[in-house]
Amino acid sequence: MAKRKILVTGGAGYIGSHTVVELFNAGYEPIIVDDFRNSQSWIIDRLAQITGESPKVYQIDCSDENSMKAVFNEHSDIFGVIHFAAYKAVGESMNEPVMYYQNNVNSLAVLLKVMKSFKVNHLVFSSSCTVYGEPKHPIVTESTPIQNATSPYGATKIVGEQLLNFTVNASANLKVALLRYFNPIGAHESALIGELPQGVPNNLVPYITQTAKGIREMLTVHGSDYETSDGTCIRDYIHVVDLAKAHVNAISWLLQQENKVCEAFNLGTGKGSTVLEIINTFEEVNDLKLNYKIGPRREGDVVQIWADPSKAKEVLNWQCNYSVKDALLHSWKWEQNIK
Ligand code: UFG
């Protein structure tokens, strides 16, 4: 039987590339659309090294309707789409709101239009726990209320979810999974693919690994006077390979749906870690000392949030297999392996 084709926008990016590997592992044929504005083309060779298969790649901006149509024309048998392509830096989005809305919202709108005209009815959308804002209770389920966005980035995720809900309502049989990611960390065990932040990292773990490598002088812990066990913020850090596998499960769940559907799923481990716990675990598993200091709070930080992932477990038959220790080992192995 021919392999099912899945179009992966942003397939050379951090979560996208790991998902391409898992799609191959599960017997799908991923087709990558990526314009490499936030990713590197050599990642494609690495994907081939890991999987022994070469994905088809189109260097296209997925908000370019004609180019997208050409891809769908060439592959009339695309079964579904996983839409990663988007900007994702909260701070940058504060300075560039138009750029964020234009890229993140417009590309989704174009994609939906093209999918409709080619009768492709399965879509996995990259959302974020940012939709919950600062929740009343730190552990969130999918029915925890969505809050007003505090950044244009967050707004594009909320608007994206709304657009998808409305589009499913208006459609005959569109099936959508909204995957709300918590904090992805780690890298593929092979250390051939991983996160590649451009410039100074905003996120904790790449900042840690770059400090350990000597690229950054010192990590600053953003605040230690929060009302948590050690005063630092709590997040749910999930290994990127576990996260990638959830996309494969989401695709197979969509395949089983007879009627139109738009469902959200939390993708986290269900366990929170403080910033200091992450630093200590990183030092312990990698047997090194990290240069860090305590600094002031970072504006806009959520104090504490972690996932209740039980819906993803029950409905998608998915759960995490890697620990935070594994993820921090793999992040460091990857950092040392980056050319
Ligand atoms: N942190 C530091 N020092 C750093 C970087 C981060 O102490 O140099 C702390 C932050 O203050 C926070 C924790 O580490 O307490 C995690 O910060 P990240 O920037 O890694 O992640 P965030 O949870 O702030 O942001 C992530 C995604 C966003 C998404 C958000 C949703 O990067 O895309 O989760 O809550 F919007």
SS in 3 state form for the chain?
A: CCCCEEEEECCCCHHHHHHHHHHHHCCCEEEEECCCCCCCCHHHHHHHHHHCCCCEEECCCCCCHHHHHHHHHHCCCEEEEEECCCCCCHHHHHHCHHHHHHHHHHHHHHHHHHHHHCCCCEEEEEEEHHHHCCCCCCEECCCCCCCCCCCHHHHHHHHHHHHHHHHHHHCCCCEEEEEEECEEECCCCCCCCCCCCCCCCCCHHHHHHHHHHCCCCCEEEECCCCCCCCCCCEECEEEHHHHHHHHHHHHHHHHHCCCCEEEEEEECCCCCEEHHHHHHHHHHHHCCCCCEEEECCCCCCCCECEECCHHHHHHHCCCCCCCHHHHHHHHHHHHHHCC
- Of all protein residues, whose CA lies closest to atom 33 belonging to ligand 1? 88
pLDDT band, very low/low/confident/very high, at 1 (cuts 50, 70, 90) = confident
Question: In the structure, which protein residues have their CB atom closer than 6 angstroms to any atom of ligand 1?
Answer: 88, 90, 128-130, 154, 183, 202-204, 207, 219-222, 233, 235, 275, 298, 301-302
Ligand 1 nearest-atom number relative to CA 151: 36
Average the pLDDT over 128-148 and give the result: 97
Could you tell me the distance, in angstroms and rounded to a whole number, from the CA of residue 281 to the centre of ligand 1? 17
- Of all protein residues, whose CA lies closest to atom 27 belonging to ligand 1? 183
Average the pLDDT over 198-204 and give the result: 95
pLDDT above 90 for 339: no
pLDDT above 80 for 242: yes
pLDDT of residue 2: 87
pLDDT band, very low/low/confident/very high, at 238 (cuts 50, 70, 90) = very high
Q: What is the mean pLDDT of the chain?
A: 97
pLDDT above 80 for 42: yes
pLDDT band, very low/low/confident/very high, at 331 (cuts 50, 70, 90) = very high
pLDDT band, very low/low/confident/very high, at 219 (cuts 50, 70, 90) = very high
Average the pLDDT over 299-325 and give the result: 97
pLDDT of residue 142: 98
- Of all protein residues, whose CA lies closest to atom 18 belonging to ligand 1? 203
pLDDT above 90 for 9: yes
